[in-house]
A and B are shown apart, each in its own frame.
Chain A
Amino acid sequence: MPTIAGSEKSEEVSLLSEDTISTPKKLKSRQRIAVSNLRTPDKEVKQDSHENLAVDSLSDCLGSESRDEDQMRAVKEALHVSKAPSTIVCREDEHRRVFEFVKGCLDQQKAGSLYICGCPGTGKSLSIEKVVKQVGDWSKQACLPPVDTLSVNCTSLTKTADIFSKILEIVEPVKEDNCYSSPLHRLQSLFSQKQDSSSRMMLIIADEMDFLITKDRGVLHDLFMLTIFPFSTCILIGVANAIDLADRFLPKLKSLNCKPMVITFPAYSKDQILRILQERLMVLPYVAFQSNALELCARKVAAASGDMRKALSVCRSAIEILEIDIRGSPGPESQGPTPDNPVVRMDHMAAALSKTFKSPVVDTIQTLPQHQQIIICSAAKAFRGSKKDATIGELNKLYLEICKSRVISPAGITEFTNMCTVLNDQGILKFGQARGNKLKRVSLRVDESDITFALQGVRFFRNCLL
C-alpha cells in the first residue's frame, strides 16, 4: 500500500514541475502550460481497489460492500453522458441520410451544405462524430484522397469572423504574402478560381451555429455562400437548435436556389429512450435496473422533453439513492433479499424522478416562516383577477387586513419590506423598478395553484385563500 501511494505522489509532482512549453501559434503570453504525456496510471487505481478487496475479504460484510461499490461504480460509468457507446441506436435513419449526403458530395467532388436541427440532447453531435469517422474509413476504402475535417464549436470563437481564418488555415496551410485581404476575401478568391486537381475536399462542422448570428447576419450568410462558389471544395454541416434557422436567417439563399438541406433530429420517444438505456446497460454482466423502473424513467422523460441527457442523469440519480439506501442500512439488512445484487427498484426511480422534475417552490413555501406565508397569501388573493401587480403599500394593507381578521399581531412596515425583499431574492415575488421603497411594484412569480397546494395542510391558509 505505502509504496503504491508513494509512487503515485511522485508521479504527480513530476507532472506539475515539467515546463515543456506547448506552443499554440500565437502564444505571446508567458503562461507556461505544463504538458506531459505521463498518465497517472489507471492501473494504479485499479490495483488499489483490488487491494481493497483482498484486505476486506476477511469479513463478508465488507467484502460484499466493496463489490457493491465496484458494481455501482461500473453502472454509473456505463450511464455517464460522456461515455459514448460504440454503436448508435435509434438514429440510424438520420445517420444514414447525413452519410449519404456527404458521400454524394465526395463522389461528385462538389460542394454542398447541410443543416441539422433538433432539441438539445437528441444525439446530433454524437451522430456527427460517428459520420466523420465513417467518412474517413470509407474514403480510405474507396481510395479517394483523404478528407480534411474542421470541427468548430462556435461558442469558443471570440469574434464570429474567426471561423473564416480557421477555415483558411486548413485550406491554405502555408500563408502567402498578401495577407492584406481578410480571410473571407481570400477564401472567396480561392474558390472562384480553378485549383489544381490535387486539392482535397474539406468537411466543415459548425456546432451551435446560432452563435454566429450577428445583427446583420453577414457571417452566417457568407459561410453558406462559400459552398456556392463554382470551385468550392467545402462541405458544410451546421448544427443548431432552431428548426427554421435556414428560412429566417438565410432568405437570399432561397432566391439563389441553393438552400441547405435540412435534417431534423426529433426528440426521443419512450421506446427509443428505453432501447438506448438497455443498450448501455448490456455491457454489464448483471442486472442493475428492474425493467419497470427503466420504463417509468423512459415514459416520464419522453413526456417531458425527450432529452437523453436527462434520462441518463435520472438513472444515475436513482443509483445514488440505491447506494445511500444500502449504505444507510448495513449489517443484517444487506444480507436480506439481495445481498450480492442490489437492483434499482420502482421506488428508487420514483424518488429520483421527483427530485429531478419537482420544483423546489412547494417545499420552500411550506417551510417559510408564518408571516412570509401570509404575505404570499395576500399577494395570491390580490392578483387573482386582471390585476397583476400592486405597490408595496397596497400589499401591506391587504397583509394587515388578513392579520387583523385572524388576530395575529402584524409586523411593522420596515420588517414587512424586508420580508418582501427576502421573497424577491428567492424568486417568489418580483420587484419592479421604482425610486421610493413604498412605490415599488410587486408581482407574483409563482402560480396560485402551487401556493394553494403548498399551504393546503394549514386550515388558516385554506380559509384565507378561499
Chain B
Amino acid sequence: MGNENPAEKALNLIRGRLCDPTFVFRPLSASSDSNYSKLKFIVSTSVTEGCNNSILLLGPRGSGKAAVLDLVVGDLMEEYPDSVTLISLNGLLHSEDNCAFKEIARQLCMEHHLLFSKMASFDENSQFIIAMLRECGLAHKTIIFVLDEFDMFAQASYSRGKQRLLYSLLDAMQSVTSQAVVVGISSRLDADQLLEKRVRSRFSHRKILFLPPSREEIDSLLEHLLSLPADSSFPSGYVSQFNEKIKNITSDTRFKDMLKTFLNANSTVNSLLKFIFRAVSSMNLESGLLSLENFKTALSSMQRQPKLEAVRADCSILELYLLVCMRRLEVKEQSSYNFISVMKEYKTIHDSFQTSDFYAQNVCLRAFEHLREREVICYAENRGQSQAGEYRSMKLLISASELHQGMRSHACCPAILLKLLDH
C-alpha cells in the first residue's frame, strides 16, 4: 500500500500503452497531412463512391504501416458497419496461387457465413471469388484486400514469374461490377518495379511512404506516451510530480544527445518504442518517478557489443597478449597464421620488450582454446580437420577498433599492450 501501488499502476499503464499500436499512432491521425488521413481518404472514397483503387504502403520495417492500416480499417468499420469486408493475405504464407485463392475463398465464406469446403478446386474457388465480387459490388459493399509482404507476391518463383494472383485481383479492379480496394504493404521501395508490365499497368501507382518521424513528432509522441492522465485512480500529487519529472527529462540536453545517438542508428517508431519500454521497465519503484539513468541503461542495453564485452570482462592478460600478437601479424600483411606463428610473435615481443608475462607453450595453448570457445577467434577454414589444432590457420573475429576499445576499458590491461597494438 502507500507509495508502491501508484508506481506499479503507472508502470503497468505506460507499458500497456507502449504495446498497443492503436494508442501509439492515434495522435498522428489528428493532423490532416499525415499518412493516416491520406490512407483514410483514399479508402473511404472507395467505400462511399464505389470506385476501385489500389495503393501501396512503403517504408522500413517497424515504421507503423500495418498499424496505421488497422487504425483506418477499424475506423471505417465503425463508420460504415456492414459495408466493409476485410480479406488479408500474407506474402510469406500465401504467395502460391492455389493457396492464395483458397485462403480468399475461405475468408469470404467466413465473413458471409457460408460453408467452405476444403475440397474445392482452384477453378471453383476462382469462380466463387468472381461471383462474390460481383455480388458485393451490386450490394455496394466494399472488399478491402490487404496484401502483406507485397514483394513476396511479386517474386513467387513457382508461378514462373506470372503473378497470377496479382493480375486477377488488379484486373477485377478494372471492371465496373466489383467494388474493392487492394492495399499492398511492403518494405521494399521498388516493389512496383517487381511487377510484370501488365500488372503494373493495372496498378494505380498510388504510394504512401512511411518516413521516420521528425523531431517535433518524436517530442509530442514522448509526451503522449509518458504523461499520466489526470485520472481519479492516481493520487493527484503523484500525477503532477510524474509529469513534471518527464518534462524535465525531455528538455535536458543530455537526454536530447542520447536520443540523437540512438536515432542516428535506428530511426523507426518501433525501435523508439522498444527503447522507451526498456527505460520505463527499469523505473525505480520506490520513488515512482522516471529518471535520466533509466534512459541511459536502456541505451547501453540496446547498443551492446558482445565481442567487446567478451574482451573487456572475460579475457586474462595472456589472452590479451595473444590477441595483440594476432593483430600485429594481420597488420604485417600475413594473410594466414596459426598458433605456431603467434607463439613466434609472442616470443619476439618478449625478447624486445622484456615483459614479465611470458608463459610456456601449453599454457598458451589453453588460453587459445579459451579464446576459441568464446568465439573471439576461430579456425579460418573447415578443412584440414585432421591436422593438429596448432597448425591450423586461425583468424580474428573481432575488429581492431573493438579490440582497442575492449582493452582500454579492461580492468588491468598493461600499458605496453596498448602501445604494441597502436604501433
Contacts and interface: CB of A to CB of B under 8 A. Distances in A.
Contact of A29 (B82, B117, B266): B117
Contact of A120 (B109, B123, B197, B264): B197
B328 interface: no
B381 to A, nearest CB: 11
Interface stretch (B64-72, B167-175, B248-256): B167-175
A161 interface: no
B49 A360 contact: no
Interface in B288-332: 303-308
A317 interface: yes
A158 B205 contact: no
B128 A422 contact: no
A369 interface: yes
B191 to A, nearest CB: 8
A427 B150 CA distance: 13
A34 B114 contact: yes
A406 B100 CA distance: 51
Contacts of B135: 15, 34-35
A369 B266 CA distance: 6
A211 B171 CA distance: 15
B131 interface: yes
B123 A158 contact: yes
B209 A400 contact: no
Contacts of A310: 201, 205
Given A35-B131, A313-B205, A428 B167 contact: no
Interface string A416-443: 0001001001111000000000000000
B263 A369 contact: yes
Of residues A26, A328, A364, A445, which shows the largest number of chain B Cβ atoms within 10 Å of its Cβ?
Answer: A364
A28 interface: yes
B15 interface: no
B94 interface: no
A381 interface: no
Contact of B49 (A76, A371, A427): A76
A134 to B, nearest CB: 21
Nearest to A17: B113
Contacts of A153: 171
Interface string A142-162: 000000000001011010000
Taking residues whose C-beta sits less than 8 angstroms from the other chain, chain A's interface range is 35 or more
A31 B41 contact: no
Contacts of A38: 138
Contacts of A40: 138-140
Interface string A91-132: 000000000000000000000000000011100000000000
B194 to A, nearest CB: 9
B207 interface: yes
Nearest to A32: B114
Contact of B206 (A317, A363, A368, A413): A317
A256 to B, nearest CB: 29
B401 interface: yes
Contact of B201 (A121, A360, A415, A427): A121
Interface in B188-224: 188-191, 197-198, 200-202, 204-207, 209, 211-212
B115 interface: yes
B131 A22 contact: yes
Contacts of A208: 198
B174 A81 contact: yes
B122 interface: yes
Nearest to B263: A369
A324 B41 contact: yes
A410 B82 contact: no
Interface of B: 32, 41-42, 45, 49, 51-52, 58-61, 82, 105, 109, 112-117, 119-124, 126-128, 131-132, 135, 138-141, 151, 162, 164, 167-168, 171, 173-176, 187-191, 197-198, 200-202, 204-207, 209, 211-212, 263-267, 303-308, 399, 401-402
- What 6 pairs between A and B have smallest CB-CB spacing? A120-B201, A427-B188, A412-B305, A29-B117, A29-B120, A369-B267
19 contacts: A29-B124, A31-B115, A34-B112, A35-B135, A40-B138, A76-B45, A80-B51, A309-B174, A313-B205, A313-B206, A316-B204, A324-B32, A359-B190, A364-B209, A410-B401, A412-B303, A425-B187, A427-B190, A445-B190
Interface of A: 9, 12, 15-16, 22, 24, 26-35, 38-40, 45, 73, 76-77, 80-83, 119-121, 153, 155-156, 158, 208, 211, 241, 307, 309-310, 313, 316-317, 320, 323-324, 328, 355-356, 359-361, 363-364, 367-372, 396, 400, 410-415, 419, 422, 425-428, 445
Given A15-B139, A38-B138, A208-B198, 17 more contacts: A30-B117, A31-B128, A32-B114, A33-B132, A34-B112, A40-B138, A80-B52, A158-B121, A211-B162, A309-B174, A309-B202, A355-B207, A361-B189, A369-B263, A411-B265, A427-B187, A427-B188
